[in-house]
Amino acid sequence: MTRSATILLTALAPISWGTTYAVTTEFLPADRPLFTGLARALPAGLLLLGVARVLPKGAWWWKATVLGALNIGAFFPLLFLSAYRLPGGMAAVVGSVGPLLVVGLSALLLGQRPTVRSVVTGVVAAFGVSLVVLKAAGALDPVGVLAAFASAASMSAGTVLTKRWGRPDGVGPLALTGWQLTAGGLLIAPLALLVEGAPPALDGRAVGGYLYLALANTAVSYWLWFRGIGRLSATQVTLLGPLSPLTAAIVGWAALGQALTPVQLAGMAVAFGATVAGQLGQRKTRTAGRSFSFTERNSRKDSMDVTDAALRR
């Protein structure tokens, strides 16, 4: 598969995640961020485990747990907490600092020196997204803002560690995704029961919303995301992140009747331009240490992974 095709497939993940805010506020029970995170993660993880039929071995038990905690177990509850307490676009703009966090963490954990392009692109993308939600600036909720930032930090750390550790020999991105979703869901479960109590009663709209989040928005999207991390640089992947708030803004306009001002449209153009620029000039990733060679070796095996090839059809 060509590099461009890999980028486009990976981009489908943040585009799908951009619909999370609308689905959460319009279809799901209010004030249940932990249950929502659990319902999104655990069924998707068990489904992928059933398809991949591969369990972690050795050190990958704790590595999968750490990745599951960062990418899922902490990220999902914080994401939904911010979605409940902030307008969708505002929650997304706080999370748009993710590319800058990944640049810094990549320097520390992957030995990648920050480039002017990556830093400028990250700043421009965050600025463009902020223009999209400029009208919502007066409705800030401190807890929501903190949750949005913490979710971005958790996901950024998980993205960089996923790149650093790669995958075990013979294990494809489908299994790795299943491990993380299952581990993250199991970490959320006791907390959801303790804090929120028994699951809420669900009507047809809520059931449909949770099915969408678990299948398309999580199982498929996270498989594409972790697959992309294995083939692209961590910074390059995370710079696709602005597509999420842009999608949220478009969904808000098209489905929820939210108006878009000329300033917001200009911000969308700036953020999208930064996203495209972030994919240019990064054909090679320079990383110190054996872990990157391990990742690259597994990346080359993707084309031979039977399960991966079947799902691409």
pLDDT of residue 139: 55
Split at pLDDT 50, 70, 90, the class of 284 is very low
The helix (H) or strand (E) run that includes residue 271 is: helix 262-277
DSSP 71: I
pLDDT tops 60 at residue 307: no
pLDDT higher for 104 or 249? 104
pLDDT of residue 300: 35
CB neighbour list of residue 30: distance below 8 Å, 6 or more residues apart: 84
pLDDT tops 70 at residue 313: no
Amino acid at 73: G
pLDDT one-digit tens code per residue, 30-54: 888 899 889 999 999 999 999 999 9
DSSP 3-state assignment of 114? Answer: coil
- 280 exposure class (CB count in 10 Å sphere: 0-12, 13-18, 19+): exposed
Split at pLDDT 50, 70, 90, the class of 144 is confident
Percentage of the chain beyond pLDDT 90 is 44
Highest mean pLDDT: which of 158-167, 229-238, 277-286? Answer: 158-167
pLDDT one-digit tens code per residue, 206-216: 999 999 999 99
CB atoms near residue 279 (< 10 Å): 19
Q: How many CA atoms lie within 13 A of 214 on its CB side?
A: 22
pLDDT one-digit tens code per residue, 77-127: 887 788 677 765 676 677 778 888 998 999 999 888 888 888 998 899 888
Mean pLDDT for all residues in the chain: 83
Q: Which residues of 126-135 are buried (b: 16+ CB within 10 A; e: fewer)?
A: bebbbbbbeb
Percentage of the chain beyond pLDDT 70 is 85
- Going by C-alpha positions, the residue among 18, 26, 22, 19 that lies closest to residue 203 is 26
Q: Kindly tell me the sign of the dihedral angle through the C-alpha atoms of 152, 155, 157, 160.
A: negative
Alpha helices in 69-172 (DSSP H): 75-85, 88-95, 98-109, 116-132, 142-165
pLDDT of residue 282: 56
pLDDT tops 50 at residue 291: no
Which whole number is the average pLDDT over 279-288?
53
Cα separation values, 41 from 15, 29, 124, 219, Å? 18, 17, 32, 8
Distance CA(305)–CA(149), nearest Å, equals 36
Amino acid at 231: R
Distance CA(217)–CA(212), nearest Å, equals 6
pLDDT tops 80 at residue 22: yes
